[in-house]
Amino acid sequence: MIKNLRPTDTGRALSDEPEVEYTCRICRDAHFVHPLKEDSPEVLCAALNATTTCLFSEILAGASLGEGVHDISGTTIRIVPVLNTLCLTSDARQRLLGTFAELRRRKTASIFEELGLPRPNRDFSNIKSRDVSLDKVLPDRRALDKVVFEALGLTEAEQLEVYRAVVELVKNRLVKAGSV
């Protein structure tokens, strides 16, 4: 159920189709994606906006660009595992597209707020991964992630661990950046 985008020397997946630009709701960057021929660009973009992409990006991102900003370049994008959207059922694809449409209609919140935590204070002391719970995650974020988590076969306990790991990784990166 997980695949990597097949890279060309430009860091994009191979395709005869034109590239698709999407703005990631997690890292807030614009990315260009060449879906494989069989993939729907919209479904792929929706899957890329799942919290699992944030987790893998946090783990695999290159050098910091200062002030806690990660370098999520073509090199990183090539190695970030992506849900194989071709394995999704028709119902799952529709749910993914529907929840992604909802998510796109609102302003992007910080990853902490997306996961139901408060806006971080200056030293992030109010951000605790143990405070994350599935029922506090923003409903549209939770609905999109749930499609991806279910496709991956994750239990609710494992889903909670993904959310908590993202919170810890992002918090640690930002705290470290503030101490330099």
pLDDT in tens, 76-109: 566 677 788 888 999 999 999 999 999 888 888 8
96, 86 Cβ separation under 8 angstroms:
no
In terms of pLDDT, which residue wins out, 160 or 73? 160
- Spatial contact of 38 and 86, defined as CB atoms under 8 Å apart: yes
Identify the pLDDT of residue 173. 84
Q: What tens digit of pLDDT does each residue of 163-176 get? A: 999 999 999 888 88
- To the nearest whole percent, how much of the chain has pLDDT over 70? 66
- Ordered by start, the domain boundaries in the chain are 2-179
Q: Which of 169, 153, 177 is nearest to 53 (CA)?
A: 169
Give the mean pLDDT of the chain. Answer: 77
Which one of 12-26, 49-63, 79-93, 107-121 scores highest in mean pLDDT? 107-121
What is residue 157's predicted lDDT score, i.e. its pLDDT? 98
How far from each other are the two terminal CA atoms of the chain, in whole angstroms?
39
- Give residue 154's pLDDT: 95
pLDDT, residue 23, reads 52
Show contacts of 59-63: CB within 8 Å, 24+ apart. 59/169
Q: How far apart are CA 173 and CA 24, in angstroms?
A: 19
Q: How confident is the model at residue 152 (pLDDT cuts 50, 70, 90)?
A: very high
Give the max Cα distance, the chain.
49
pLDDT for the residue numbered 6: 37
Residues, the chain: 180
31 DSSP β-pair partners: 22
Give the separation between CA 67 and CA 179, rounded to whole angstroms. Answer: 10
Helical spans, DSSP H, in 13-135: 41-48, 51-60, 74-79, 90-104, 111-114
Neighbour tally for 29: CB within 10 Å: 14
Residue 131 has pLDDT above 80, yes or no: yes
